[in-house]
Structure 1
Amino acid sequence: MGVRQSFHHPLSTPGTMARDEENEKLLHIVMFPWLAFGHMIPYLELAKLIAKKGHKISLVSTPRNINRLPKVPPNLTTLIKYVNLPLPQVDNLPENVEATTDVTYDVVQYLKKAYDLLQQPFAEFLESSNADWVLFDFTAFWVPSIASKLGIKTAFYSIFPAPVLAFFGPSLCLIGNDDRTQPQHFTVPPPWVPFPSTVAFRYFEIMRISDILSHNVSGFSDKYRLGTTIQNCDFVAVRGCTDFQPEWFQVLRNIYQKPVLPVGQLPTTGFAGGDDNDNDAWQWMKEWLDKQPRGKVVYVAFGSEAKPSQEEVREIALGLDKTELPFFWVLRVRRGTSDTEELRLPEGFEERTKERGVVWRSWAPQLKILGHESVGGFLTHSGWTSVVEAVEKEKALVLLTFLADQGLNARVIEEKKMGYSVPRNDLDGSFTSEAVAASVRLVMVEDEGRVYRENIKKMKDLFVNKERQERYVDELLSHLHSPTTQ
């Protein structure tokens, strides 16, 4: 391991330099998330909480992503700095693509290939950064080897909740010694989970992401990236809280044999700035929502990653029609300019439902919509940020999974009776409009679904309790300061 060189802090002003000398406990932490907004936003939320304690954060990403990230609050602009690393061009990656939201799922592997080419510029930045720690994402599995040469410690900061990490298992399994060689092996809980659990993929869920089990054009599978990351980092920080899932954190500590720290659920907080056009759009939305009956609007959104198929869009649309409830549907019809398959709604659908429904085809302020009193339920993909926002705003969940960890998240939500999954064909994931309508009505209006509406409210304190969130951040910082981790 090399000795970290002494550089002037690139983020310091004369005033903060003096404060650093007076108080050596102030840290400089580099954060390096994967190029997906479902990763970058939780990294930024944790950055804000750490910066509030006086520590410096360098959040590293690519120029276009940084331009799209929320502005840093004015009181933290001297402590949180965005670091631009231009994304190298690779074949088959369209121009101006810098995040998963810009491309269809099959092109994401080329984004990983480009991301791996950031190793050299990241190493050069790190060498001049005078950083104390790097908190990095599993995709950048090569970070520990770079950091260790500079004497910088690393932590894998997982935006995936504890049950997801636990399901995939210890690093040796992920790197290659895994008995689970077929997709159906991932439809049952693994042997290292010592308690009864339903947390596993359904067959269609694992088939949709079966490429994570094998090498892609980047040369490395997601399993390998995750396993190498866990094996080589100094400790693991996980989005979530032990109060909500103590047994799953214990599984992680058992299988990783290294410290595993919760960092809290990281509910989305307010940001500075905001485009006037966004404000105009919200004003229109609010006026529409104000006219709807209290607790009767179903909000529909599937995050920045998922793109339903044409057939799925058809059944969702017809299902919303059959609920006879008002709805607000955020529908991304394309993923980036290279996506040639634009989703279409059933003929006459918008005209037929215009009195009680909105189909919104661009970005929408999800937290504001969920917070409106007319919204009573959320038809969601089960991405964890959306789950946290729904709990914060006390909106019961109807689950329709598409990609990534969403299936495992959905099992957790089902077990806790915080939401209900739309019934689907286990093999191909198909579902009917009748199933959509019945599920939405169950969760939102029927007596039988009262348990979901009540449980989501009971969970709120576990997810958005400020004192608990502060405690997790303090414990993380204590670990970063600990002599055993220096």
Structure 2
Amino acid sequence: MAGEIFVLPAFGQGHLFPCIELCKLIASRSYKATLVIFSTLSSSVPSSFRQHPLIEIFDIPSPSGSDPIPMHPDSKPQMLLCLENLISTRRKQPDLPRPLCAVVDLIVIMEWTADVFNKLGIPTVGFFTSGACSAAMEYATWKAQVQDIKPGEVRSLPGLPEEMAITISDLKRRSLGPPRGHGGPPAGGELGSKPRRRGPAGPGEHPSWVDETSDSIALVINTCYDLERLFIDYLARETGKPVWAVGPLLSEQYWASGGSLVRDSKIRNRQADITEEKVIEWLDSKPRGSVLYIAFGSLVDITLEEYPQLASALEESTHPFIWVIRKDAGRKGEPEGYFPHGLDQRVGERGLIIQGWAPQLLILSHKSTGGFLSHCGWNSTVEAIGRGVPFLAWPLRGDQYYDAQLVVRYLKVGYSVSEDMGGMVKKEEMVKGIEKLMGDKEMKRRAEALGAKFEHGFPDTSMAALDAFTELIEKKSAPGQ
């Protein structure tokens, strides 16, 4: 055993799953990987992951009587105490490996844990579970001070591709409040600290990760050079640190499938609200590339007013579709949300409506799926890119706006659902976007060509980056360093 590496994800499955895959890659190089999570996330960890001989899971008890997430003020002292106890235990037992470093999620967790690791002499590595483009755009728009941009002006961002130039419309953001489950104290700060913005920086705001990673020895990002080389190189130049792309951190089954169907049931510790066999049967009955898949992830949502607009747009469209609707759709955490009653009867076999969780990897990997109406969360984005599926981008918060720009402007494998992403999206825009996406054969060819780069498995460049990462932490942990 080469040593132990801690991995600390922020709350939410979009952060947990990449950290699980990173732990597997670390363990594949004979290091012990210790995943430190809040106990609320334990049920989402696959049993096969727990059985790995070089992987350990350390649960931090979630605060009682509150949202059990790291942003809650009751969580910070509990996390820090548990971390100190864990590390102290390691140091008292000579047969346990010495922690070589901690890979820490940059959504809040880095700010909270840096002092503990610094005090105990454990190097930290900042981890972006999102992509390089979003981090680079946060940094570049802050440096360019884009808040004073004028109508009609196009402002280039030095060091980044010209396609990522900013206009005043790019500064618009929807006002949806905090994402689901991300509660916490009001904007007065945590535990008497100074006020702090949470989550990704808005256009021109100072990215909190810049200060929080000042003492980190490196940064790792859930992406690869095939997708985001220019953005990765930009971050390395600007931060003066090694920046390694070690992803996309998707399951080994995804990479091993070679472009064939991926079974979610073999990967994720969740049961879909529809059998995979029924989904496959429905998709098999549709022509290749004809199906539009609609899903907005588990943490963000369109508005209650937009849901019936979308239902009407799908009814008016002639394309087959799969629409995944959460059970609290449009209701921000309430048990019962919007459901398009009667739509299934009106569209018949042309539509498949799934309420609850759905087998997304299976749907995206099926040859009948030809488009993805998506919020452009990073996990969903790379899952679709890897299967050659183009996008109708509908970003809803934070880094999703930059992910959408990457897809639409730089990779050119998608369209925006609206020219004004700061307001309500209307039915007419949805219909126009669906028709444009599903009818663009050239875009489908570009998407398929991009996806073909991943048919042979996990990127070699990401493997090499992981090697460079382990070489650095070995060097930093050597006596005298």
Q: Normalising to structure 1: TM-score of the pair?
A: 0.80
Deviation, 1:196, is 2.0
Deviates more, 1:333-342 or 1:376-385: 333-342
CA–CA separation in structure 2 for the residues paired with 1:227 and 1:273: 34
2:63 matches 1:88: yes
Deviation, 1:242, is 2.9
What secondary structure does 1:132 align onto?
A: strand
Letter in 1 for 2:164: T
| Match 1:261 to one of 226, 233, 244 | 244
CA–CA separation in structure 1 for the residues paired with 2:39 and 2:427: 41
Deviates more, 1:381-390 or 1:337-346: 337-346
Letter in 1 for 2:104: F
Mark the runs of 5 or more structure 1 residues left unpaired by the alignment. 1-19, 21-25, 100-109
Task: Report if aligned partners of 2:315, 2:347 keep a CA contact under 8 Å in 1.
Answer: yes
Deviation, 1:238, is 1.4
Task: Report if aligned partners of 1:163, 1:199 keep a CA contact under 8 Å in 2.
Answer: no
Q: CA RMSD in A?
A: 3.4
| Match 2:103 to one of 135, 141, 164 | 135
CA–CA separation in structure 2 for the residues paired with 1:232 and 1:184: 37
Mark the runs of 5 or more structure 2 residues left unpaired by the alignment. 91-97, 202-206, 254-264
CA–CA separation in structure 1 for the residues paired with 2:399 and 2:268: 30
CA–CA separation in structure 2 for the residues paired with 1:238 and 1:111: 22
CA–CA separation in structure 2 for the residues paired with 1:249 and 1:425: 28
Deviates more, 1:470-479 or 1:55-64: 470-479
Size of the aligned set, in residue pairs, is 436
Deviation, 1:278, is 4.2
Q: Percent identity, please.
A: 23
CA–CA separation in structure 2 for the residues paired with 1:144 and 1:476: 19
Letter in 1 for 2:342: G
Deviation, 1:72, is 3.2
2:31 matches 1:55: yes
Task: Report if aligned partners of 2:330, 2:338 keep a CA contact under 8 Å in 1.
Answer: no
2:81 matches 1:120: yes
| Match 2:53 to one of 67, 73, 78 | 78
CA 1:119 to 1:462, structure 2 compared with 1: closer, same or farther past 3 Å? farther
2:450 matches 1:459: yes
CA–CA separation in structure 1 for the residues paired with 2:430 and 2:278: 27
2:144 matches 1:151: no
What secondary structure does 1:237 align onto?
A: strand
Name the structure 2 match of 1:12. Answer: none
What secondary structure does 1:34 align onto?
A: coil
Task: Report if aligned partners of 1:45, 1:266 keep a CA contact under 8 Å in 2.
Answer: yes
Letter in 2 for 1:451: E
Name the structure 1 match of 2:302. Answer: 308
| Match 1:230 to one of 213, 219, 227 | 213
CA–CA separation in structure 1 for the residues paired with 2:177 and 2:157: 22
Alignment deviations for residues 412-468 of structure 1 (CA, whole Å, 9 cap, x no partner): 111221111112435x42222232222222222x2xx22321111222254564333
Letter in 2 for 1:56: K
2:414 matches 1:419: yes
CA 1:206 to 1:355, structure 2 compared with 1: closer, same or farther past 3 Å? closer
Matches within 5 A, 1:327-406: 327-334=321-328, 339-340=333-334, 342-346=336-340, 348-406=342-400
| Match 1:202 to one of 162, 170, 192 | 170
Name the structure 1 match of 2:430. Answer: 436
Alignment deviations for residues 32-86 of structure 1 (CA, whole Å, 9 cap, x no partner): 0100211111111111122122211111111221211233358x61112221101
What secondary structure does 1:363 align onto?
A: coil
Task: Report if aligned partners of 2:134, 2:403 keep a CA contact under 8 Å in 1.
Answer: yes
2:475 matches 1:482: yes
CA 1:198 to 1:154, structure 2 compared with 1: closer, same or farther past 3 Å? same
CA–CA separation in structure 2 for the residues paired with 1:316 and 1:167: 30
What secondary structure does 1:78 align onto?
A: coil
Deviation, 1:274, is 6.3
CA–CA separation in structure 1 for the residues paired with 2:52 and 2:117: 26
CA–CA separation in structure 1 for the residues paired with 2:296 and 2:270: 25
Deviation, 1:337, is 10
Deviation, 1:275, is 6.6
CA–CA separation in structure 2 for the residues paired with 1:443 and 1:203: 24
CA–CA separation in structure 1 for the residues paired with 2:80 and 2:147: 31
Name the structure 2 match of 1:10. Answer: none
Deviation, 1:183, is 11
| Match 2:8 to one of 32, 36, 51 | 32
CA 1:190 to 1:35, structure 2 compared with 1: closer, same or farther past 3 Å? farther
CA–CA separation in structure 2 for the residues paired with 1:143 and 1:189: 37
Task: Report if aligned partners of 2:294, 2:373 keep a CA contact under 8 Å in 1.
Answer: yes
Task: Report if aligned partners of 2:222, 2:247 keep a CA contact under 8 Å in 1.
Answer: yes
CA–CA separation in structure 1 for the residues paired with 2:154 and 2:18: 29
CA 1:321 to 1:34, structure 2 compared with 1: closer, same or farther past 3 Å? same
CA–CA separation in structure 2 for the residues paired with 1:82 and 1:60: 6
CA 1:113 to 1:46, structure 2 compared with 1: closer, same or farther past 3 Å? same
Task: Report if aligned partners of 1:235, 1:259 keep a CA contact under 8 Å in 2.
Answer: yes
What secondary structure does 2:5 align onto?
A: strand
CA 1:250 to 1:142, structure 2 compared with 1: closer, same or farther past 3 Å? same
CA–CA separation in structure 1 for the residues paired with 2:443 and 2:68: 38
Alignment deviations for residues 305-353 of structure 1 (CA, whole Å, 9 cap, x no partner): 1111111212221111122111111111327998238432455323312
Name the structure 2 match of 1:105. Answer: none
Alignment deviations for residues 272-323 of structure 1 (CA, whole Å, 9 cap, x no partner): 6767954972122222222233321111111111111111212221111122
Name the structure 2 match of 1:107. Answer: none
CA 1:216 to 1:333, structure 2 compared with 1: closer, same or farther past 3 Å? farther
Task: Report if aligned partners of 2:7, 2:34 keep a CA contact under 8 Å in 1.
Answer: yes
What secondary structure does 1:205 align onto?
A: coil
Task: Report if aligned partners of 2:313, 2:431 keep a CA contact under 8 Å in 1.
Answer: yes
Letter in 2 for 1:267: L
What secondary structure does 2:227 align onto?
A: coil
Matches within 5 A, 1:267-282: 267-270=250-253, 278=272, 281-282=275-276
Deviation, 1:378, is 1.1
CA 1:346 to 1:278, structure 2 compared with 1: closer, same or farther past 3 Å? closer
